[in-house]
């Protein structure tokens, strides 16, 4: 049995005070919840406030990005040792918004994945096709390419903590959700690629999250699919009651 992960991606929302207020309301709603893992990924500036607020709870805190170098002259960037030093445990890598707006490529995803694993962070690697690719029947090729390149020269042993998020780009922030069946099919493609890269046992244990307009109303149907091992939630994770309802699907 793969333990599900419900992860919040807050994107460029919430000041430190707003992050603190979120946890004051959210934590009592999920305090007895141990069925799944819960991760919240605030922006860099709100990370310390979130870590402080979540201390002693079951909620882990993740970053939304990292730089792969250990340190150096990279103005505006954040590296793994800085994240680890403040208590970050997870990191989102290769989100489609970073691929779309910030020149993230499969190769930088690979560098970031290696860096996160070396630092002991749990990476949540995002993959997913755009609408034109789905309509041209290229979903399979795109997912396989993104995974293959992301996993390049990463060993199964080192990748043990890897989590993948399938996020069809056409479903992110659009209100359009993949049907549970469609998501499950895409997850099976990712799992097959993981089996090719890391072996069948690794693939059987790999957690693959679904992301794309997950809401309290559709979380149960999505999470009931055997292939779906949790969710990466954007918009609906900003409100404590809404995210708690998704956690409890
Ligand atoms: C995301 O940003 O990872 C995401 C899935 O966003 P939303 O839930 O808003 O579609």
Q: Where are the chain's structural domains?
A: 5-247
Residue 173 has pLDDT above 90, yes or no: no
Sign of CA pseudo-dihedral 194, 196, 202, 205: positive
pLDDT score of 1:
84
Contact 236, 214 (CB under 8 A): yes
Ligand 1 contacts CB of residue 173 (under 6 A): yes
Tokens standing for 105? Answer: 């490529």
Q: Which CATH architecture has domain 5-247?
A: Alpha-Beta Barrel (3.20)
pLDDT score of 175:
86
Ligand 1 atom at minimum distance from 233 CA: 8
Q: 40 CA to middle of ligand 1, Å?
A: 13
Residue 191 has pLDDT above 90, yes or no: yes
Can you state the percent helix, strand and coil of the chain, rounding each to 5?
45, 15, 35
How high does pLDDT run on average in the chain? 97
Taking the C-alpha atoms of residue 178 and residue 190, their distance in angstroms, rounded to an integer, is 16
> What residues act catalytically?
95, 167
Instruction: Summarize pLDDT for 82-133 with one digit per residue, the tens.
Output: 999 999 999 999 999 999 999 999 999 999 999 999 999 999 999 999 999 9
Q: 5 CA to middle of ligand 1, Å?
A: 15
């Amino acid at each position: 049995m793969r333990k599900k992960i419900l992860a919040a991606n807050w994107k460029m929302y919430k000041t430190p005070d707003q992050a603190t207020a979120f946890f004051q309301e959210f934590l009592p709603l999920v305090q007895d919840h141990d069925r799944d893992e819960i991760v919240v990924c605030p922006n860099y500036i709100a990370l310390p406030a979130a870590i402080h607020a979540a201390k002693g709870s079951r909620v882990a805190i993740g970053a939304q990005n990292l730089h792969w170098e250990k340190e150096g002259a990279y103005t505006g960037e954040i590296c793994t040792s800085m994240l680890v030093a403040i208590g970050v445990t997870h990191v989102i890598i290769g989100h489609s918004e970073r691929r779309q707006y910030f020149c993230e490529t499969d190769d930088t995803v690979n560098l970031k994945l290696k860096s996160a694993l070396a630092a002991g962070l749990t990476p949540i690697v995002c993959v997913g096709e755009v609408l034109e690719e789905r309509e041209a029947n290229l979903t399979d090729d795109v997912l396989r390419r993104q995974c293959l390149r992301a996993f390049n020269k990463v060993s199964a042993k080192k990748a043990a903590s890897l989590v993948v998020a399938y996020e069809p780009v056409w479903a992110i922030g659009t209100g359009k959700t993949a049907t549970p069946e469609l998501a499950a099919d895409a997850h099976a493609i990712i799992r097959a690629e993981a089996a090719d890269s890391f072996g069948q046992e690794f693939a059987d244990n790999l957690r693959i999250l679904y992301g794309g307009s997950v809401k309290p109303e559709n979380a149960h149907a999505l999470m009931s699919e055997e292939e779906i091992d949790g969710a990466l939630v954007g918009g609906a994770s900003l409100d404590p009651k809404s995210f708690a309802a998704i956690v409890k699907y």
